[in-house]
Amino acid sequence: MKKLIIMLAALAMVAGFTASAMADVSLYGSARFNTYSVDTDKEYSGSLASFQDTSLTGVSAFDTRDTQWRMGNLSRFGAIFKGDTVGGRFELDARTNQPDTATDGASGVGAMRLRLLYGTWNFGSGELLIGQNYPLYNFAISSIAYTTGGLQPFGGVAYANPRVSQIRVTFGDLKVAFLTPVTKYDGADQYDYTTESKFPKVEVEYDLKFDPVAFQLVGGWQSYDAMSATEDSKSVDSWVIAGAGKMHFGPAYINLALSYRINGTNYGVWTAVDEQAQYVNGDFQDAKTFGAVGAIGWKVNDMFTVEASAGYLSAEYDSLGSAEDTARAYGFLAQIHLAPGVMIQPEFVVLDKDKIKNAAGQEFDQGKQTAIGVWWKIDFK
Give the CATH number for residue 51: 2.40.160.10
Q: Assess if residue 98 is contained within a domain.
A: yes
| Top-ranked range on mean pLDDT: pick from 52-61, 170-179, 320-329, 347-356 | 170-179
Average confidence (pLDDT) over 100-124? 74
Q: Assess if residue 117 is contained within a domain.
A: yes
For the chain, the helix, strand and coil percentages under 3-state DSSP, each to the nearest 5? 10, 55, 35
Per-residue model confidence as pLDDT tens digits over 239-249 = 999 999 999 99
- What pLDDT shows up at residue 284? 81
Taking the C-alpha atoms of residue 377 and residue 104, their distance in angstroms, rounded to an integer, is 19
Nearest to 197 by CA among 214, 182, 208: 182
246 CB-side CA count, 13 A: 11
* Overall domain count for the chain: 1
Q: Assess if residue 286 is contained within a domain.
A: yes
Using CA atoms, how far residue 84 sits from 15, 90, 101, 123, 175, in Å, is 19, 18, 43, 11, 21
- What pLDDT shows up at residue 300? 96
Q: Assess if residue 223 is contained within a domain.
A: yes
Using alpha carbons only, how large is the chain's radius of gyration in Å? 23
Average confidence (pLDDT) over 89-118? 70
Q: Assess if residue 10 is contained within a domain.
A: no
Is the pLDDT at 111 greater than 80? The verdict is no
Show the domain range for 88.
Answer: 26-380
Q: What residue type is 219 in one-letter code? A: G
Q: Assess if residue 13 is contained within a domain.
A: no
- What pLDDT shows up at residue 295? 98
How deeply is 23 buried, as exposed, middle or buried, from its count of CB atoms within 10 A (0-12, 13-18, 19+)?
Answer: middle
Q: What residue type is 233 in one-letter code? A: S
